[in-house]
C-alpha cells in the first residue's frame, strides 16, 4: 500500500531521534483505511520512532484544514522547521540533511523545495505526457525562480518550511484549493526567500487514470485563478516588497502563467486559427502560427528530453487539456460551480508494484458517464469540419494539423485515455 511506503520513508529519515516528530495526518473517511494507517504508525512507534497519528472529526478545509489542525498540537511548538510530504511521497533518508542546512545558514530563507521524481512515468502514454509538462515546471519555472532569487510557488509537498515564515504568513488557509500557493504568496509578500534544490528528488506517483488526472488539473487550474481573484488587491497594496516583485506576481506569475496561458492555448489553437480556413482573406503570420509555438514547445520539452520523440502527442494532448483548464480557470475567476471542489487524486500504488517487480494485469473499466466528455466531442467536431473544409477548398495543408487535433479530441471525448489501470 502507498501509505506504508510513505510512512516508512518518513520514519527512515536520517536525523537525531530526539529532535524529530513524524506527524501522520489522516483525513481519510474509510474506517478500514484509518485502522491500517494507525496500525502502521504503532508498528513504527514500537521501534522507537517518535511518530504521532492524528485525525480530526471533520474534513473542513480539506488538506489546508488538516495541516492547520496538525499545527495546533503542543509538540509542534518545539519544532523550528516542518517538512511536508503527501501520502504517496517517499523521501530518501538524507532529505533533511540536504535541506535543513539551507535554512540554518540563511535566516532569510523560508522554504526549501525539492523536485518530484515519478516512479510510474512509464506506466502509459498519459503519464509520459504528464512527466513532460511537469518536467518543464521543475526544470525551468522553479529552477529559474530560485536561481534569480525571484518568487516561485510551493508545490504543496516535498518541501521544508521555516516555522517562523509559516506562522508569520498566517499559517494554512482554506479559502482556495491551492493552500500551498496561498501560503507561498503570503510568505513572499513578507519578504521571505525560497530555494529550489533541483538535484534533490522525492519519489511519488502520477495519476494513472484520466478521471483522476482531470480532477487534479481542475484543482490546479481553478485554484490559482481563484487565489488571484482574492489576492490581487492585497499584492498590489503590499508595502513590504518592491514594485517589481508585485508586478512579477500579478502579471507574470498569476495573470500570464495561471490564467492567460490556458485561455490563449485553447482559444487560439483550437478555435480561432482553425476558423481562419473559412476566411481565406485572413492570413495568420508564420511567427504566430509556427515560430513562437515551436519555440515554446522546445522550451517545454527541455525538462524531459528522454520523451522528445513524443512531442507531437504531447502538443495534441496539451491542447485537449487546455479546454478543461480554461473551463476551470473561469470557474475560479468567477467563483462558480466547482470552485471549491476537492477530490483526492487517486494513486494506485505503482511504487509498491515496481518495488516488488510484479507485472500487474490490466483491465478496462467502462462507465459511459465517466468516459464520454461532451465538450471535447463538440470541439472535435469543430476541428473536423474545419479540416474537411481546408482539405476541400484550402491551399495551405493546414488540414493535417486539424485532423490530428480533431482525432485527439475524439480520443479523449470518447474516453480512450487513461482507462487501462493496474489491478489492485
Q: What is the pLDDT of residues 364-382, one digit of tens each?
A: 455 555 678 999 999 999 9
Report residue 353: phi and psi, to 5°. Answer: -65, -40
Q: Which helix (H) or strand (E) holds 279?
A: none
Asked whether residue 189 carries a pLDDT value surpassing 60, the answer given is yes
Annotated active-site residue 27? The verdict is yes
Annotated active-site residue 180? The verdict is yes
Q: 293-297, 337-341, 354-358, 414-418: which range is least confident on average?
A: 354-358
pLDDT digit string, tens, across residues 85-115: 999 999 999 999 999 999 999 999 999 999 9
CB 163 within 8 A of CB 80: yes
Asked whether residue 290 carries a pLDDT value surpassing 80, the answer given is no
The pLDDT assigned to 298 comes to 76
Asked whether residue 354 carries a pLDDT value surpassing 50, the answer given is no
- What one-character DSSP code corresponds to residue 156? S
Asked whether residue 269 carries a pLDDT value surpassing 70, the answer given is yes
pLDDT digit string, tens, across residues 9-31: 999 999 999 999 999 999 988 89
Residue 112 and residue 97: Cα distance in Å, rounded? 12
Residue 18 and residue 193: Cα distance in Å, rounded? 29
Beta-carbon contacts of 126 under 8 Å, excluding residues fewer than 6 positions away, are: 208, 210, 213, 317, 417, 418
Asked whether residue 54 carries a pLDDT value surpassing 70, the answer given is yes
| Residue in the block written with cell 513532460 | 132
Asked whether residue 355 carries a pLDDT value surpassing 90, the answer given is no
Residue 277 and residue 385: Cα distance in Å, rounded? 10
CB 197 within 8 A of CB 96: no
pLDDT digit string, tens, across residues 154-170: 999 999 999 999 999 99
The pLDDT mean for the chain works out to 89
Greater confidence (244 vs 421) lies with 244
CB 155 within 8 A of CB 116: yes
- Report helix, strand or coil for 34: helix
Residue 410 and residue 205: Cα distance in Å, rounded? 27
The pLDDT assigned to 367 comes to 56
How do strand 51-54 and strand 22-25 relate by DSSP bridges? parallel
pTM, rounded to two decimals: 0.90
Mean pLDDT of 322-329: 97
The pLDDT assigned to 148 comes to 75
Closest CA to 376 of 340, 332, 325, 330: 325
Asked whether residue 143 carries a pLDDT value surpassing 80, the answer given is yes
The pLDDT assigned to 71 comes to 95
The pLDDT assigned to 350 comes to 45
Residue 316 and residue 217: Cα distance in Å, rounded? 16
Mean pLDDT of 334-345: 85
The CA-to-CA distance between both ends of the chain, in Å, stands at 10
Asked whether residue 37 carries a pLDDT value surpassing 80, the answer given is yes
Residue 137 and residue 143: Cα distance in Å, rounded? 8
Instruction: Choose the catalytic residue: 26, 86, 88, 180.
Output: 180
10 Å CB burial of residue 39 (0-12, 13-18, 19+) is: exposed
Instruction: Choose the catalytic residue: 26, 27, 182, 350.
Output: 27
Sign, CA torsion 76/79/84/89: negative
Q: How confident is the model at residue 420 (pLDDT cuts 50, 70, 90)?
A: low
User: What does the buried/exposed string (b/e) look like for 227-237 if buried means 16 or more CB atoms within 10 Å of the residue's CB?
Assistant: bbbebeeebee
Asked whether residue 82 carries a pLDDT value surpassing 50, the answer given is yes
The pLDDT assigned to 359 comes to 43
The pLDDT assigned to 291 comes to 75
Closest CA to 228 of 259, 197, 262: 259
Asked whether residue 287 carries a pLDDT value surpassing 80, the answer given is no
Greater confidence (85 vs 419) lies with 85
In this structure, the number of other CB atoms found within 10 A of the CB of residue 242 comes to 9
Amino acid at each position: 500500500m502507498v501509505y506504508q511506503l510513505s510512512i516508512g520513508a518518513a520514519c527512515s529519515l536520517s536525523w537525531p531521534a530526539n529532535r524529530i516528530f513524524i506527524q501522520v495526518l489522516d483525513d481519510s473517511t474509510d474506517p478500514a483505511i484509518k485502522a491500517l494507517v494507525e496500525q502502521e504508525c504503532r508498528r513504527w512507534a514500537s521501534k522507537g520512532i517518535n511518530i504521532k497519528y492524528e485525525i480530526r472529526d471533520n474534513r473542513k478545509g480539506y488538506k489546508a484544514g488538516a495541516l492547520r489542525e496538525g499545527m495546533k498540537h503542543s509538540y509542534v511548538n518545539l519544532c523550528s522547521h516542518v517538512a511536508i510530504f503527501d501520502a504517496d511521497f517517499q523521501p530518501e533518508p538524507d532529505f533533511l540533511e540536504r535541506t535543513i542546512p539551507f535554512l540554518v545558514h540563511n535566516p532569510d530563507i523560508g522554504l526549501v523545495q525539492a523536485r518530484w521524481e515519478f516512479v510510474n512515468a512509464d506506466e502509459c502514454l498519459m503519464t509520459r505526457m504528464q512527466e513532460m509538462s511537469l518536467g518543464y515546471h521543475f526544470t525551468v519555472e522553479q529552477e529559474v525562480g530560485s536561481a534569480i532569487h525571484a518568487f516561485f510557488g510551493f508545490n504543496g509537498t516535498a518541501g521544508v518550511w521555516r516555522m517562523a515564515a509559516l506562522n508569520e504568513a498566517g499559517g494554512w488557509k482554506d479559502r482556495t484549493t491551492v493552500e500551498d500557493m496561498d501560503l507561498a504568496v503570503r510568505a513572499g509578500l513578507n519578504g521571505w526567500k525560497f530555494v529550489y534544490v533541483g538535484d534533490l528528488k522525492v519519489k511519488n506517483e502520477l495519476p494513472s487514470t484520466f478521471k483522476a488526472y482531470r480532477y487534479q488539473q481542475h484543482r490546479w487550474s481553478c485554484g490559482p485563478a481563484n487565489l488571484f481573484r482574492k489576492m490581487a488587491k492585497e499584492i498590489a497594496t503590499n508595502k513590504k516588497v518592491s514594485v517589481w516583485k508585485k508586478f512579477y506576481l500579478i502579471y507574470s506569475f498569476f495573470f500570464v502563467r495561471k490564467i492567460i496561458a490556458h485561455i490563449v492555448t485553447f482559444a487560439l489553437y483550437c478555435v480561432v486559427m482553425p476558423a481562419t480556413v473559412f476566411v481565406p482573406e485572413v492570413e495568420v503570420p508564420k511567427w504566430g502560427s509556427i515560430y513562437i509555438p515551436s519555440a515554446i514547445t522546445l522550451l517545454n520539452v527541455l525538462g524531459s528530453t528522454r520523451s522528445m520523440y513524443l512531442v507531437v502527442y504531447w502538443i495534441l494532448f496539451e491542447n485537449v487539456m487546455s479546454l478543461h483548464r480554461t473551463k476551470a480557470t473561469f470557474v475560479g475567476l468567477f467563483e462558480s460551480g466547482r470552485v471549491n471542489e476537492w477530490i483526492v487524486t487517486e494513486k494506485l500504488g505503482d511504487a509498491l508494484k515496481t518495488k516488488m517487480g510484479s507485472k500487474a494485469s490490466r483491465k478496462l473499466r467502462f462507465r459511459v458517464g465517466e468516459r464520454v466528455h461532451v465538450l471535447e466531442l463538440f470541439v472535435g467536431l469543430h476541428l473536423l469540419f474545419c479540416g474537411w473544409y481546408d482539405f476541400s477548398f484550402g491551399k495551405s495543408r493546414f488540414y493535417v494539423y486539424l485532423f490530428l487535433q480533431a482525432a485527439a479530441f475524439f480520443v479523449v471525448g470518447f474516453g480512450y485515455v487513461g482507462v487501462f489501470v493496474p489491478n489492485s
